[in-house]
Chain A
């Protein structure tokens, strides 16, 4: 009898929440439009690969060797070479950001190469954007050394083969940064979506005075929390599914782990994110403040401190310790493993456990802090 009444109350709350979701499109927008929009924006916008780098080439005196090297740059997908007559012209183009760097093959390039006395070419890179500069110089080095080796091999004049270090890249052989950025982005988006969904709805009930009326009915706090959690959990999982689908189809990210592990971990993560939103909502009781706090405490840390963009191991120890408080960190590790490596249990299990602990923590705190009173 008692259980039945509780069941009916919960159903009533769920139906009410669902009707509100349908009538007020903002929740649907948060659950579906927001992650899709962010994924499209960042998925295409954020890339750590340098492609079509604009490189200037100054060839002071044409020669067979020089044009051979130039064709090496032309064939590379990374470069978009442009030619300049003099160093001055290239330098001013660099200053105007028309090119990212330039290479000078001096007039005595062919002669000095024959004599093999020293590196006869000069590369100048715009160092304003340090990351691009590093990439550019690495790529230039790559093209240069490939060409040099080939040149030496055809000549076979050197007494000894230079020792070449061979690099092998696992898990992401094409070195597409998108393959590990998109799973990370998914986490960032879902952190925001999860927290916003619940942060706004609970605060809305405070603001509109409806919670005051609810609290005076026989409804229990567990029912109120479940009534909020379940509908938005369903919405959040929907948004998550849509994001995964986009990652697999639109961005062609491989999924090497098992689908069901992905589902299970997503559920844990979403519970943690929704729990955080609930907690914010219960504490602030104000939609505007709750929204701002949700944004600042989820989106920014998930972006910067989750290991999605910046390696956690290279952060200072104190900051590393703080990253343990960010649920996104664990989910980034799980998703990057699942998408790029597979079911690596030694990585997935501890991170999933951490997510479960965070979910329990946030939901438990919400339950403790929500009272059947107004203060």
Chain B
């Protein structure tokens, strides 16, 4: 079979009606080729899941046609469902059934004959490495194991087309890499066709063909190299004096002709408008520039970033004092901090310290204990044991005093959807004890600094994700805290909004505010001054991105492959970790 396995023609799909109407897919036409991995790539809300659901007949299109394996989905969805394998975002597992019982159920549903089961089970279990845990309840598996079990359940009867909806979101990088190994093996050995959606742009390079979705439209389709090829000769790594990468990035991003400037290790990765290196001479004598390989994300940004828009001039927000370089005052000190819920240890004797004015990242997969650590730091959860002080105050003794000096932005932004932008700001300001002239001043500042003035009277619920994120951050900063906590602030936000957001974080750090941020994006960890890597409640490593890479390289026998990226380092750290044999995920 050489023709496409999936064809969509001018596909349209919307949800809701009236004011709440939302267009998920806006005229999507594409073809998915046979015998290869096709990546459906785009940020949250770009229409990936809607497309997947249309492709398996779970949704009907408003207009346009879609056919799968030569069968039209509007009339023959039953036949399609018998021939494809589909793994939804949450893997579709029954958590109170064991691994084996889940396999049995899906084998029954897919009509796998009894006599073929032992052999098929053995093959799938060895492929996924789940053979040792067949009796364990699916709900007690780690995120990575759940993902592999979900995959095994869709593969019981080898489908001709495998559809995976964001299989790698929130799982640790080792599991991610293993999933890719499995998928690539399926394509090579069984000539399976795979359509995989993801929000991680770095996964595009692993696909044979990439479909880039943005706001319900196809921005481009082709092999990943076709996205990065036009940028050849336009990508550079600029290295400056140590400890100065953040100001260097800020200055580079304001330079005309520079399309994108990102922190990467100790250097700044620069994409230019034309094949001309950025002008390093005004930046100082010790600044050097070297060409670099373009990657998929460079291509994405190049296609999406409006040519005309100048980068927002992000002055240091709220400068209170200049952060003295090499300042030693610790803003946050955590010593053997543990949190247990019943018999489950969510955070296990974690120690680290954060210096004033630095951007500190907590990196880990879902269930690694990041959010629990965060909630303890903000005084929302009492620790089971250990010591922690925030802004010099022991949280166990004076939580209120510490809270007045911290700002917290939760994963869900915690805004009142029915209130306008100004009303939200006023509410949060009052909640922090601001009033009168001071409150008016701060609201005025927030509307200006976060470019929300035009939307001051708009209802928060109607704002786009990116604007809601800005408003949430403004609310957390109204009382001018010394320390800002950001819990997965960028999950689901598209790369452009993410860049802008990190621009603001950098500006805050320049202004001397300490920023603590959690993330499961490896790339974002590169933007942090220092970071701590967490897995299963324990701290695996702490240091600057470069230090962590070097630590892993230096550890004898720890790394099995080259350690070039933080992801490599993370994987090596997980592999080197003594296996406790539980590997249980956090409940819920």
Contacts and interface: CB of A to CB of B under 8 A. Distances in A.
Interface residues of B, number: 35
Contacts of B81: 215-218, 372
A375 B59 CA distance: 7
B104 to A, nearest CB: 7
B111 A20 contact: no
Given A214-B92, A216-B58, A12 B97 contact: no
Nearest to B106: A217
Interface of B: 53, 56-60, 77-78, 81-82, 84, 86-97, 101, 104-111, 137, 150, 153
Main secondary structure on B side of the interface with A: mixed
A15 interface: yes
A5 interface: yes
Given A12-B104, A19-B96, A24-B96, A214 B88 contact: no
Given A19-B101, A372-B57, A373-B58, A218 B108 contact: no
Nearest to B83: A218
B357 to A, nearest CB: 43
A336 to B, nearest CB: 40
Contacts of B91: 209, 213
Given A15-B104, A373-B60, A375-B59, A218 B111 contact: yes
Contacts of B78: 218, 372
A28 B565 CA distance: 52
Given A9-B108, A24-B96, A218-B110, A213 B57 contact: no
5 A-B pairs with least C-beta separation: A213-B92, A12-B108, A209-B90, A217-B109, A23-B96
Given A12-B104, A23-B96, A210-B92, A216 B56 contact: yes
B88 A212 contact: yes
15 contacts: A12-B108, A13-B109, A15-B104, A15-B105, A19-B96, A209-B90, A209-B91, A212-B58, A213-B86, A213-B93, A214-B92, A216-B58, A217-B106, A373-B59, A374-B53
Contacts of B96: 19-20, 23-24
Nearest to A23: B96
A119 B198 CA distance: 93
Nearest to B87: A213
Contacts of B56: 216
A286 to B, nearest CB: 16
Q: Which of B56, B89, B96 has the most CB of A within 10 A?
A: B96
A261 interface: no
Given A9-B111, A20-B97, A210-B92, A216 B105 contact: no
Contacts of B101: 15-16, 19
A78 to B, nearest CB: 54
B68 to A, nearest CB: 11
A31 B77 CA distance: 37
A16 B58 contact: no
A256 interface: no
A1 to B, nearest CB: 10
B25 to A, nearest CB: 14
Interface string A37-75: 000000000000000000000000000000000000000
Contacts of A20: 94, 96-97
A344 interface: no
A368 interface: no
Contacts of A210: 92-94
Given A20-B96, A217-B106, 13 more contacts: A9-B111, A12-B108, A13-B105, A19-B97, A23-B96, A23-B137, A210-B93, A213-B91, A216-B84, A217-B109, A372-B77, A373-B57, A373-B60
Contacts of B57: 216, 372-373
A8 B137 CA distance: 23
Contacts of B150: 213
Nearest to A6: B111
A208 interface: yes
Contacts of A9: 108-109, 111
Interface in A1-29: 5, 8-9, 11-13, 15-16, 19-20, 23-24
A340 interface: no
Contact of B109 (A12, A208, A375): A12
A11 B60 CA distance: 30
B76 to A, nearest CB: 12
Contact of A216 (B60, B86, B89, B108): B86
A16 B86 contact: no
Contacts of B109: 9, 12-13, 214, 217-219
Contacts of A209: 88-92
A234 to B, nearest CB: 19
Nearest to A207: B90
A219 B101 CA distance: 17
Nearest to B58: A374
A347 to B, nearest CB: 44
Contact of B88 (A8, A15, A23, A213): A213
Interface string A345-375: 0000000000000000000000000001111
Nearest to A210: B92
Nearest to B110: A217
B60 A218 contact: no
Contact of B97 (A16, A214, A218): A16
Q: Which of B78, B90, B105 has the most CB of A within 10 A?
A: B105
A80 B230 CA distance: 100
A5 B111 contact: yes
A24 B97 CA distance: 10
Nearest to A213: B92
Given A217-B106, A218-B82, A219-B109, A16 B94 contact: yes
B95 A208 contact: yes
Interface string A220-237: 000000000000000000
Nearest to B82: A218
Contact of A11 (B86, B94, B108): B108
A11 B104 CA distance: 11
Nearest to B104: A12
Interface in A177-234: 208-210, 212-219
Contacts of A8: 108, 111
Contacts of B77: 372
Contacts of A217: 81, 106, 109-110
Contacts of B97: 16, 19-20, 23
A327 to B, nearest CB: 31
A108 to B, nearest CB: 76
Contacts of A375: 59-60
A212 B92 contact: yes
Contacts of A24: 96
Q: Which of A16, A373, A374 has the most CB of B within 10 A?
A: A16
A24 B137 CA distance: 12
A219 B78 CA distance: 9
Q: Which of B60, B81, B111, B150 has the most CB of A within 10 A?
A: B111
Nearest to B13: A375
Q: Which of A11, A23, A219 has the most CB of B within 10 A?
A: A23
A12 B59 contact: no
B143 to A, nearest CB: 15
A303 B96 CA distance: 35
Interface in A252-302: none
Contacts of B108: 8-9, 11-13, 15
Contacts of B111: 5, 8-9, 218
B256 to A, nearest CB: 48
Nearest to A5: B111
A59 to B, nearest CB: 67
A260 to B, nearest CB: 35
Given A20-B94, A210-B93, A12 B105 contact: yes
Contacts of B58: 212, 215-216, 372-374
B221 to A, nearest CB: 25
A374 B54 CA distance: 10
A375 B110 CA distance: 23
Contacts of B110: 217-218
B542 to A, nearest CB: 36
